Structure 1
């Protein structure tokens, strides 16, 4: 009997075939040796059937036929890949195939891809084992095969995968039909469009809401000027700024004249203070001086969202481009599995981490650092640090270099090489000590007012030696030399310091920033920040909007639907007029779809199904109830004729 290995993509199947020594021509859709057969899907081979597959009458969009909730869902082969499905189905059912090794991507979506194929191919009671790996190195593939568990151990993950797809299907079909039937005629006429289908989704509509709300906050923001007062203090011929603040028991404390404790609303009030401070000589008394050291630890390792955020800001590439690049690095054995939410290592990996570090000695930009880490031996105690935590890992640990695949570096594009470099830098930095800074805080008294000055300089570079990359803008916050700070550090309480002058510095409040593609991904990952209720925020901790595997696709979908615009040069995200109109339609019909807490709670529920704490029946009931309730609610709405007055409020911002 032969073992059959089924991968998610041809490139991954080729890696398995190489490790297993299975050679041959891939043109047949599989590779075979005396004891093994290796085949592959091409992503999804099966999809959910449209409603007309259940009943031809459902082809026509009609309020009378929704809510549509099938008791049993139908699936079909995707026509473009039907040839490969036939090959795979034939192999799965071959009499000489004994054990099936499922080698699709180790995650919810990879599980779903295989289970659909298994279901459609009607595979009988053959032995099925799940290969779960974190990288595509030879050792990891062999370990994954050796330790493969029975596929049935992943049934809960499979249930969550099916439910995620059903949920997106039911909300998409029912809500898109309901809203389109109610509002598309109005929108079509209003925008003079040929056609308009209102596309909504559990995750997509929530993300649209985040973007529109931010744009409206920016529009409504009113800039407020404020005026700060600073004294120029002279010590040993060098000046530094000391800023005035209203503190407790001083004349201006909690004064209505202040914008905040260090700024006035009106310039004339700042001028009054300058006159007061300048009277009776230009001297101030040092009343407090505090010196302390501060440590800054290396950041946590990259998960996909953090990497997408950094790539957006450093390289101005979209989250979907970042995922493509890191997927390529993964398939070339250079890094570990990319679709991960974890920012830590597992205990098991920590024990063997010297292998990853050793491999980087063959990567020129990091060779000296890798060598230093190995010589110092800091990797030996990494398991006792915050960078190793099994409880913070669901499917996979953080994205790190494998230390292998160096031959593939030559074939990488410049941008992929840069992404690999920042992953390596982040990884090696956790084996270095914290950066250390000297901080000095001074308080000066002038009459009954106080001035404050703060200084900071680096004592030890620590991890920054390896973490600092050539792509980021260099920030130099060291205005003063260590020698000068040493001098003022020796000043004692009661010393009298001279002031050259007082200045008024004008500033103004800033509106919130627009999201770029990276900060939007992080916002989706940390959906809890939008929830005021602390208990609810704690409940959905760790459940964002979407998953690491789907977030970039949601942004792409919104761009393709013309609901948002993504500036390719800056990666800044803004809504379109159509996007704002869709937002308003949803706001006045199914506004729960715009709520981050609700969307994140659905995701939390799916995690509960995957870990067995929620039954699939409980989740299904909750999902069906929600879809039925809100579909019926939209059917009863009759605000279509009034809603254009809401659109009019936004139109002024889109006049050409």
Structure 2
């Protein structure tokens, strides 16, 4: 029996090859082949391509409020090879990668899904959708692994498991229903955007399961902060000679010793005088180390230090692939017994890297609060590969050193002893209603290594007073207090709220926060972990008032429903029906709330229409209309005429948002956007040309090329020309015609070649690689 192992990405395939002895061969007596996937390789087609009948196709093609919500039962959920577009606008398809899987599957006995195992079931979906795409009818198996170390991969290979059909595989069902629900939820973005545009706001207002909850939580908290009004109060308290404060328990409905005016409190203070302090009890207490961090908690700590979620995710992934840290997308908060035994010999070595005192790491036995079996990957922790120093991690990314140090110290805290302190209670002898409870540290234990609760706290937590003990005597004073101000939302604060509702895993929360804080349609800003609303975020917040998609309790129920579908306790159709319910409800909410936008957000920015050009496209004799501007560049009248004649032109400009200069070539052409054809400037990549077909400059640095010059240059020859610099000085140079990259853009150019010899500056004003069009 030959196994075809489907690895999730090329880096995983390399690790498999290292663990098993090659990309193909025999391991543990079983023949195998490793085939790499590239993450998700399929995507849903447009909705109108998923329905039957002309009427339905037209209805789903429109994406208008009148046609929403869609009926999920009409959709066939057809998929196609994923198409991606790079930064240069070049499209690529995963069709060949899928065909490679089909070719590799010929002659094998079984396909083995060897993707990551994550809480969402995403790895299962990635494998199954490709297996379905190639129409495989044979056995399907599963290789599970904790991480990509040789030992774990070999262990996983030895324990390859049979899988039932895809519709009986709970992990796949859970992931598939989630992906379909998310596809249906695209209607919410369209409806929210359309509602905003009816009021003149030309923006895209994104909505979704997690992003809407994040936006609403942040918006509500900011509203509380803005509504806060400081209300000072005054009351009598005692302070002993060790600076411990003694207070009375205040009941707002019963007590009257808290005053709005300081003078009233000062009058009350005259009733009290100095007194001795009485110690009532001393209780020895212990606190164990906090839980191991998940990716959400880790990223929230790093956010306060200025590291963005997107950067933390990317850097952590690279470190994981190098086995320096454990699997990122786990929801486990504990490690297994086997993982504990595996890591135990590395404790001192890890401590040396991060500067933790090895003398504090004395608790080498298993803690039941941190070690138990039954998880998948185990909690986030250092990997089995221990770096020589933190400095060696710099190559992985800006946050690599801090990621490892934080993760390692959190993990090492488990090997520290409990924090031990004495809880001491006392009162004022003459006035026993004034009491105090203080904490006197006996042994810091794990807190001397890392205190996870303190590091993830959003603000200063009010708890027992730390002290050196009760004093002997105390005297009264007038205390000035104030009603507590709501904390401004931060990454740490948001992580706490989402964890409380059990919305998403740590990894999905970090990736979604990264998504909503970047790009033109960002909903939030993230400044050293402090979160605020963008203008679009403010618009989205108004829309979400009273919505279901923005309610964390609703989202929590939805996550539970998806889990239930994976456990076959709920039918997928019932989960998808909940999408229809949400969209039906929120559609009405969005349009109702849109009428509040002007009063709450302010007038929208005026829409600046791009200038249009109208003319006859000569090669086809067809009348066309296109934008005079492209990527911040405005075509001159001469360039417009060249475009209409079908000629290729070269343009230079600066990107309208990044400000980066660019140089590119292109011509007028037709394109399609959301099913609608339009005319416009189409860039031509240098790779699409040969020396014979590339656009050739008529002139370069004052020299006009003859027909024979062009033939020789296109043939790859080098010719000598007499040219004139910008400073009007004549010079001679040998030139060729070839591909060159200038400021990140590759194109065909005239390339000068000056004679070897003493280094002499090129004639002033020459643009060595920028021909005129």
TM-score range, shorter-chain basis? 0.7 to 0.9
- Confirm or deny: 8 A CA contact 2:236 2:477 kept in the other structure: yes
Identify the range of structure 1 (330-339 vs 158-167) with the bigger mean alpha-carbon deviation.
330-339
- Confirm or deny: 8 A CA contact 1:130 1:149 kept in the other structure: yes
- Confirm or deny: 8 A CA contact 1:228 1:264 kept in the other structure: yes
Q: How does 1:348-427 map to 2 (within 5 A)?
A: 349-351=336-338, 353-363=340-350, 365=352, 378-382=363-367, 385-390=368-373, 393=375, 395-404=376-385, 406=387, 411-413=392-394, 415-427=399-411
The alignment status of 1:240 with 2:235, answered yes or no, reads no
The alignment status of 1:103 with 2:114, answered yes or no, reads yes
- Which of 419, 425, 447 is matched with 1:464 structurally? 447
SS in 2 for 1:114: helix
- Which of 326, 330, 334 is matched with 2:320 structurally? 330
- Confirm or deny: 8 A CA contact 1:301 1:398 kept in the other structure: yes
**By how many angstroms is 1:558 displaced?**
2.5
Mapped to 2, the partners of 1:451 and 1:137 lie a distance apart of 61
**By how many angstroms is 1:633 displaced?**
4.8
CA-to-aligned-CA distance 1:483-536 (integer Å, 9 cap, x gap): xx38x5xx7xxxxx464xx33232322321122223323322222xxxxxxxxx
Q: Is the radius of gyration larger for structure 1 or structure 2?
A: 2
CA-to-aligned-CA distance 1:449-494 (integer Å, 9 cap, x gap): 733344432212222243269x979x99999985xx38x5xx7xxx
CA-to-aligned-CA distance 1:413-434 (integer Å, 9 cap, x gap): 2631221122222222223321
Alpha carbons of 1:165 and 1:231: their partners in 2 closer, same or farther (altered >3 Å)? Answer: same
Alpha carbons of 1:367 and 1:52: their partners in 2 closer, same or farther (altered >3 Å)? Answer: closer
Partner of 1:60: 62
Partner of 1:264: 259
Alpha carbons of 1:420 and 1:480: their partners in 2 closer, same or farther (altered >3 Å)? Answer: closer
SS in 1 for 2:198: helix
- Which of 156, 172, 177 is matched with 2:186 structurally? 172
Q: How does 1:131-146 map to 2 (within 5 A)?
A: 131-146=143-158
The alignment status of 1:316 with 2:306, answered yes or no, reads yes
SS in 2 for 1:593: coil
- Confirm or deny: 8 A CA contact 1:330 1:337 kept in the other structure: yes
Consecutive unaligned residues of structure 1, counting only runs of 5 or more, are 23-30, 189-194, 492-496, 528-543
**By how many angstroms is 1:9 displaced?**
1.6
- Confirm or deny: 8 A CA contact 2:234 2:478 kept in the other structure: yes
Partner of 2:421: 437
The alignment status of 1:72 with 2:76, answered yes or no, reads yes
Aligned residues: 573
Identify the range of structure 1 (404-413 vs 303-312) with the bigger mean alpha-carbon deviation.
404-413
TM-score by length of 2: 0.67
Mapped to 2, the partners of 1:561 and 1:504 lie a distance apart of 53
**By how many angstroms is 1:350 displaced?**
0.9
CA RMSD between the two structures: 3.6
Alpha carbons of 1:232 and 1:620: their partners in 2 closer, same or farther (altered >3 Å)? Answer: closer
**By how many angstroms is 1:387 displaced?**
1.8
Partner of 2:33: 37
Mapped to 2, the partners of 1:284 and 1:407 lie a distance apart of 60
Question: RCO greater where, 1 or 2, for CA within 8 Å and sep 6 or more?
Answer: 1
- Confirm or deny: 8 A CA contact 1:291 1:438 kept in the other structure: yes
- Confirm or deny: 8 A CA contact 2:287 2:419 kept in the other structure: yes
The structure in which a higher percent of residues are helix is: 1
- Confirm or deny: 8 A CA contact 2:204 2:521 kept in the other structure: no
The alignment status of 1:567 with 2:526, answered yes or no, reads yes
The alignment status of 1:597 with 2:553, answered yes or no, reads yes
**By how many angstroms is 1:285 displaced?**
4.4
SS in 1 for 2:324: coil
The alignment status of 1:630 with 2:643, answered yes or no, reads no
Partner of 1:343: 333
- Confirm or deny: 8 A CA contact 1:209 1:594 kept in the other structure: yes
- Which of 500, 512, 517 is matched with 1:526 structurally? 500
Partner of 2:676: none
**By how many angstroms is 1:324 displaced?**
2.4
- Which of 147, 157, 166 is matched with 2:171 structurally? 157
SS in 1 for 2:270: helix
Alpha carbons of 1:182 and 1:564: their partners in 2 closer, same or farther (altered >3 Å)? Answer: closer
**By how many angstroms is 1:645 displaced?**
4.3
CA-to-aligned-CA distance 1:142-182 (integer Å, 9 cap, x gap): 11111121233871110111111111111213x33334444
Q: How does 1:8-27 map to 2 (within 5 A)?
A: 8-22=8-22
CA-to-aligned-CA distance 1:341-382 (integer Å, 9 cap, x gap): 22112xxx31452321213444462699797699x6x54443
Mapped to 1, the partners of 2:235 and 2:586 lie a distance apart of 55
- Confirm or deny: 8 A CA contact 1:301 1:399 kept in the other structure: yes
SS in 1 for 2:399: helix
Partner of 2:270: 275
Partner of 2:643: none
Alpha carbons of 1:332 and 1:645: their partners in 2 closer, same or farther (altered >3 Å)? Answer: closer
**By how many angstroms is 1:597 displaced?**
0.6
The structure in which a higher percent of residues are strand is: 2
The alignment status of 1:648 with 2:599, answered yes or no, reads yes
The alignment status of 1:210 with 2:217, answered yes or no, reads yes
- Which of 539, 548, 566 is matched with 1:581 structurally? 539
Identify the range of structure 1 (134-143 vs 1-10) with the bigger mean alpha-carbon deviation.
1-10
Alpha carbons of 1:428 and 1:134: their partners in 2 closer, same or farther (altered >3 Å)? Answer: same
**By how many angstroms is 1:585 displaced?**
2.6
The alignment status of 1:607 with 2:620, answered yes or no, reads no
